[in-house]
Structure 1
Amino acid sequence: MTQTYDFIIIGAGSAGCVLADRLSANGRFEVLLIEAGGSDLHPWIKVPLGYGMTFSDPKVNWRYNAASDPGLKGREAYWPRGKVIGGSSSINAMAYVRGLPHDFDDWEAAGATGWNWDNVRATYDALETTDEPAEDGSRRLRGKGPIHVSDLTHEMNPFSEHFLSAAEDMGWRVLEDMNGAAPQGSNLVPGEGLGYVRSTVKNGMRWSSADAFLRPALKRKNLTVAKGALVEKVLTENGAATGVRFTQRGAQVEARAGREVILSAGAINSPQLLQLSGIGPSDLLKAKGIEVVQDLSQVGRGLQDHLAVCHFYWANEKTLNAKLGSLWGQGLAALRYALTRGGPLSVPVNQTSGFVRTEGAAQPDVQVYANPASYYTTPGGKPHIDKGNGFLLCMQPCRPTSRGEISIQSADPREAPVIQPNSLATEEDRAIAIKSSHLLQQMAMTPSMQAVTTERRSPDIVPMDDDALLENFRARSGSVFHASCTARMGQTARDSVLDSRLRVHGVRGLRVIDASAFPNVTSGNTNAPTMMLAARGAELVLEDHALAS
């Protein structure tokens, strides 16, 4: 028997959990949330530093690989994505970064009416509860939102203080809060400078979108969650989405949507599912034997991501490696975490970050990452921390102009789509790769960094000229997993997939609400803006159906 719901949400990730909560809250609507993965009740998900262990775990991770990328010397990058309740918010590095004001003003300029900074800032304010130290040594909470954002400075590795000293050497502001206001009367913007990262951690454990939004909603009888369910197709009739077909435990199931189907499967899976459902570039669909429901040329196109280049250094002081670079140290850290929910395992390894400007830039155009540890991932996907005391300096250009593409390989929903990043395809992106590398050179040579550096590990970026810097960036930069813009909002069906209310052009009753919908990638980490977008998207859905009731 086919079950009918008011709303069907595909994907229980950063966006889908928000939607499930908001659309079920008033009790009027029956909501079905479908997730391909399983439960997030997994120790490595809950332990903040455990994301190194889920980085390539097929039980919770789609484990995608991008195609050979000419801009990166033909390399094929690994792209982890969450396949679990909570989606990528259950396996990410937990950095909570709103983005910069001009990111969202640019969204509006691209046709996403109503998505300017003033509007999205109000949504952020309503969503957040900030946990930070008080003057008396206790903790204080600001705000009453479901997203718990913690200041974990008290658990940060002491070596990170050298990064803040280096920031001062560079003439950068030391931030109290990356998401805080800029100083009055300055020409700086919020987040400009370097400071300790705020994290989605609560009481020493990861606080994912599932923790913040889905768990409270599960108490409601009008919300149904289908786990281990792979959606094969959005069903359509007469130009409208009417339901979905999915497989669960070997059986094929159909569910009907009385009001809307909402794709929240992420920047890879949402465009894949649109194309599998006959919504996308007609030439691609016909080539794969799929009947064209709506010819939308931009579905899957417009892909953006962030690339960072990192360099390794040996230190003359203890870094996080001293605590986690041996089995003995890892055991002690695990014991401390089990007893107190504190210590090295309670803090993500990305401890300091912020936004800075290259020479002559009108806005911050590079994000800095400085980590008090040196580590790498083995060919088998396991994290390995160096035994010696090491650290990392990384630079990430904020707003790439290159656009890639997601496209299905066949009509089989189980076959991963082709991910073509098209990195460094524009002159602007190649220029900022060089400029950001200059900043890394300069930071490495500050008095504060030189005082604690015993060796700049090979390849040493300091002596490189511009040609060598670009070659180094092509050879060594990597994704920081901020895929977005593959079903972007815009003005018309010629330049976008969605209107400013997140509705798919030409298909009634169908929306995409996740990072796919970004008109352009925000300057920093994308989990916070994805949850913000979902909260605003839920408001738009409810507004439309209040009028229709």
Structure 2
Amino acid sequence: MDDYVIVGGGSAGAVMAARLSEDPSVTVCLLEAGGRGDGIFARVPMAAAAVVPGHVKSGNWRFSTVPQKGLNNRIGYQPRGRGLGGSSLVNAMLYVRGHQRDYDEWAALGCHGWSWADVLPWFRKAEDNIRGADALHGRGGPLQVCDQNWARPINLAFIRAAEQCGYRHNDDFNGPDQEGVGLYQATQFWQGPKRGERCSAAAAYLHDVMHRRNLTVITGAHVTRILVERGRAVAVVYRKGGEERTVRAAREVILAAGALQSPHILMLSGIGPADHLRQHDIPVVLDQPGIGANLQDHLDYTMIFRSADTDLFGLGLKATRDLLRAANEWRTERMGHLRSTCAESGGFLKTDAALDRPDIQLHFLVGMVDDHVRKMHWGHGYSAHVCVLRPHSRGTVRLASADPFANPLIDPAFLSDPRDLTTLRKGARRLADIMAAPALARYRGRELYPAGESDAELNAAIRARADTIYHPVGTCRMGSDPAAVVAPDLKFNGIEGLRVVDASVMPRLIGGNTNAPVIMMAEKTAAAIRAERHPARKVDAGLNFA
């Protein structure tokens, strides 16, 4: 029996395991369905271009959505990281916190203790920023954050093109003002023996402490259900190597499997919408309609261009020679093009000047990224993405069957609220203006999927090609209202000894990439758990959930 059993070793689980096991008086067990997350495809930043589309089968759950009515009944793709580090193994490594007002909005919704003032100390605690510490940034934390000093020259042309369209240059999207265009900072090791490698949550927090006597990490452990006895979560059942095993929790079960799999595991455990559970002959432990509801994700539209510039990523003989040269450069010096995030620059813009914060995000990629790199094109090129930051559409995660190895039914319900289509269309027009600006002229070749000029043509293009940019949240919503799945301290409402710590608890999607916020949430919650165990000790700022 362990004090804490953590389900899922992703961005939240890795942090929770590392931080809780700092206390030698407790024991921690971490269960992860994938592997250690320290192989070559996890360490080389650009390897994500092979893992995300599934060209490399390991390290990715490769989920799909149900047919999306708003997207011409297309089945969407939902890649999620599998292994210690979770989706931080396969993401673009962009270090983005979201807008400060997003967190103040959480607090206004009843998520007490999650305002910007409350969460900033935990962002800073996690961070080891190459630029040093200041009022907004941290130095010395586990998560190394660096500047992309290897970014391709075309990024400067993209930034200049945006400036020609009236948008300002912003060299810090996590600074006082998020709005503008610029280079992203990345979660990549910039010092130490791992310099140049991906700084996943596991590489930052977990790999170097897995020797602790009070920490047990079990990989290849597929969790099938949580056991509840007399209203308390007491154990986790998992399968490893074809054998069913159980690990008991003396204090808490901490569910950190992510916005798609945390509700899936809960429903397999008999915790969820009662009618849905009965449809699959699962005994109802707790009727909680909010589990699997409130799914939100960033819907993304892409413009793709061919280019004569062979400095970009491409497919062909020269591109192959360049890739081999870059592989050798990374192997010997941890430098070169394989350090790239691919999405090297981007921005946060408003579709209406009257808005209080940006409502669209841009990602500029130094390659032709078509259908999540599942559709390949010969030659060289670049692509630019635009997504709706705060969608109004709400979807669900549901069971396909009672089989714990069957993938969940994922329905983001993209464009089910017409306001999202309006915002995405406005954003696509702003992106098109930037792509047509003079600064990009020397790079510009044929556009692969020209959308046309009218609203109807652009709407059709969006419905034909838009898909996720990998930020699902909200399916175990926190709040202070009776319908909330978890309370602001992330303890489960209605079951003792159970806590959920991952993107599923976000009440609303933040305006940016979700990895850094999830790490922050885990830092804050781990500290709160330790404070509960040692109330007489001095408590860091930001732990008040009252």
**TM-score, with normalisation over the residues of structure 2?**
0.92
Q: How far is the alpha carbon of 1:431 from its aligned partner?
A: 1.5
Please, which of 450, 455, 473 is the counterpart of residue 460 of structure 1?
A: 450
Post-superposition offset of 1:545: 3.0
Return the offset for 1:482: 0.6
Between the aligned partners of 1:383 and 1:333, the Cα distance in structure 2 is 23
- Aligned with residue 245 of structure 2, among 228, 253, 274: 253
The 1:431/1:245 distance shift into structure 2, 3 A limit, reads: same
Partners in 2 of 1:170 and 1:474 — Cα distance? 26
Distance 2:131 2:374 in 1: 32
Q: Name the residue aligned to 1:397.
A: 388
2:77–2:467: 8 Å Cα contact kept in structure 1?
no
Matches within 5 A, 1:360-371: 360-371=354-365
Tell me which of 1, 10, 13 is aligned to 2:10. 13
Q: Pick the aligned partner of 1:503 from 475, 486, 491.
A: 491
- Residues 49, 118 of structure 1: CA spacing in aligned structure 2 closer, same or farther, 3 A cutoff? same
Number of the residue aligned with 2:520 = 532
Establish whether residue 148 from structure 1 lines up as the match of residue 144 from structure 2: yes
Q: Could you say what secondary structure the match of 2:529 adopts?
A: helix
Equivalence for 1:175: 170
Alignment check: 8 A CA contact 2:38 2:203 kept:
no
Q: Which residues in structure 2 correspond to 1:172-321 (within 5 Å)?
A: 172-181=167-176, 190-202=177-189, 203-315=195-307, 317-321=309-313
- What corresponds to 1:444 in structure 2? 435
> 1:22-101 alignment to 2 at 5 Å?
22-55=19-52, 56=54, 57-101=56-100
Q: Aligned to 1:373, which of 348, 367, 389? A: 367
Verify the 8 A CA contact 1:374 1:386 in the aligned structure 2.
no
- CA shift in 2, pair 1:439/1:499, >3 Å: same
Once the two structures are superposed, residues 214-240 of structure 1 have per-residue CA deviations (whole angstroms, 9 ceiling, x without a partner) of: 123313110001111111111111111
1:490, distance to aligned residue in structure 2 (A): 1.6
- Cα distance in 1 for partners of 2:531, 2:457 equals 54
Q: Note the C-alpha offset of 1:318.
A: 4.3
CA distance in structure 1 between the aligned counterparts of 2:406 and 2:328, rounded to whole angstroms: 42
Q: Percent identity?
A: 35
Q: Give the 3 Å change call, closer, same or farther, for CA 226–454 of structure 1 in structure 2.
A: closer
- One-letter identity of the residue aligned with 1:191: Q
SS at match of 1:66: strand
Aligned partner letter, 1:147: L
Q: Counterpart of 2:424 in 1: which secondary structure?
A: helix
Note the C-alpha offset of 1:497. Answer: 0.8
Q: How far off its partner does 1:447 sit?
A: 2.4
2:474 is aligned to 485
Equivalent AA in structure 1 for residue 172 of structure 2: D
Q: CA deviation at 1:479?
A: 0.6
Distance in 2 of aligned mates of 1:316 and 1:334: 23
Structure 1 unpaired stretches of 5+: 134-140, 182-189
Paired residue secondary structure (1:8): strand
Cα distance, 1:249 vs structure 2:
1.8
Distance 2:496 2:142 in 1: 31
Whole-Å separation in 1 of the counterparts to 2:536 and 2:250: 12
Distance in 1, Cα, partners of 2:245 & 2:156: 55
Give how far 1:542 is off: 2.1
Across the aligned residues of Structure 1 and Structure 2, the Cα RMSD in angstroms comes to 2.1
What code does the residue aligned with 1:368 have?
Answer: L
Q: 1:323: Cα distance to partner?
A: 9.3
Distance 1:385 1:338, change over 3 A: farther
Residue 383 (structure 1) shift: 7.3
Q: 2:424 aligns with which of 407, 412, 433?
A: 433
| Contact 1:13–1:86 (8 Å) recurs in 2 | yes
Which is worse superposed, 369-378 or 198-207? Answer: 369-378
CA distance in 2, matches of 1:88, 1:142: 23
Stretch of structure 1 that moved more, 369-378 or 22-31:
369-378
Counterpart of 1:187?
none
Secondary structure of the 2:379 match is coil
- Asked if 1 retains the 8 angstrom alpha-carbon contact of 2:271 and 2:284, the reply is yes
Please name the residue that 1:186 is paired with: none
Aligned 8 A contact 2:474 2:507 in 1? yes
Match among 409, 433, 455 for residue 418 of structure 1:
409
Question: C-alpha separation between the residues in 2 aligned to 1:290 and 1:546?
Answer: 39
Instruction: Indicate if the aligned counterparts of 1:395 and 1:437 stay in contact, CA closer than 8 A.
Output: yes
1:530 CA displacement:
0.7
Could you report, residue by residue, the CA deviation over 1:406-442 in whole angstroms, capped at 9, with x for unpaired residues? 0112221111110011011112212212211221222
Give the secondary-structure state (helix, strand or coil) at the position aligned to 2:146.
strand
Q: Is the 8 A contact 1:319 1:373 kept in 2?
A: no
Counterpart CA distance in 1 for 2:58 and 2:310 is 35
Q: Name the structure 2 match of 1:136.
A: none
Which of 99-108 and 296-305 deviates more?
Answer: 99-108
* Structure 2 Cα separation of the partners of residues 192 and 377 of structure 1: 28
Amino acid at match of 1:205: E
Q: 1:399 to 1:25 in 2, by over 3 A?
A: same
Partner of 1:408: 399
Q: Deviations over 1:477-515 (max 9, x none)?
A: 111111111111122242x21111101110011011001
How many equivalent pairs are there? Answer: 525
Q: 2:119: which partner in 1?
A: 120
Q: 1:75 and 1:377, CA in 2 relative to 1: closer, same or farther beyond 3 A?
A: closer
Q: Give the alignment of 1:152-167 within 5 angstroms.
A: 152=148, 154-167=149-162
Q: 1:321–1:386: 8 Å Cα contact kept in structure 2? A: no
1:399 maps to amino acid = R
Structure-2 residue corresponding to 1:184: none
Q: Paired residue for 2:544? A: none
CA change 1:422–1:435 in 2 (3 A) is same
* 1:58 counterpart SS class: coil
1:329 corresponds to 2:322: yes
Alignment equivalent of 1:356, drawn from 339, 349, 360: 349
For 1:439 and 1:470, the matched residues in 2 are separated by: 15
1:541 match: 529
- Deviation at 1:142? 6.1
SS of 1:201's equivalent in the other structure is: coil
State the Cα distance separating 1:19 from its structure 2 match.
Answer: 0.2
- C-alpha distance in structure 2 between counterparts of 1:487 and 1:384, whole Å: 36
**Residue deviations 1:150-182, cap 9 Å, x none?**
102x2111111101101211222212222222x
Can you list the C-alpha shifts for 1:12-42, whole angstroms capped at 9, x where unaligned? 1100000001111011111000001112221
The one-character-per-residue Cα deviations of 1:317-344 (angstroms, maximum 9, x if unpaired) are: 4441369862212111112222221111
Cα shift readout 1:380-414 (whole Å, capped 9, x = no counterpart): x76746413x2212211111011110011222111
| Structure 2 counterpart SS, 1:392 | strand
Indicate conservation of the 8 Å contact 2:127/2:142, yes or no.
yes
Q: 1:138 — aligned with what?
A: none
Give me the whole-angstrom Cα distance separating, in 1, the residues matched to 2:370 and 2:62.
17
Alignment check: 8 A CA contact 2:46 2:342 kept: yes
Deviation at 1:446, TM superposition (A): 2.0
With over 3 angstroms needed to count, the CA separation of the structure-2 counterparts of 1:458 and 1:228, relative to structure 1, is closer
351 and 386 in structure 1: CA distance in 2 versus 1, 3 angstrom threshold = farther
Query: Do the aligned residues in 1 keep the contact of 2:123 with 2:138 (CA within 8 Å)?
Result: no
Is the CA contact (8 Å cut-off) linking 2:315 and 2:378 kept in structure 1?
no
Query: Shift in Å at residue 526 of structure 1?
Result: 0.7
Q: What stretches of structure 2 of length at least 5 have no aligned partner?
A: 190-194, 538-546
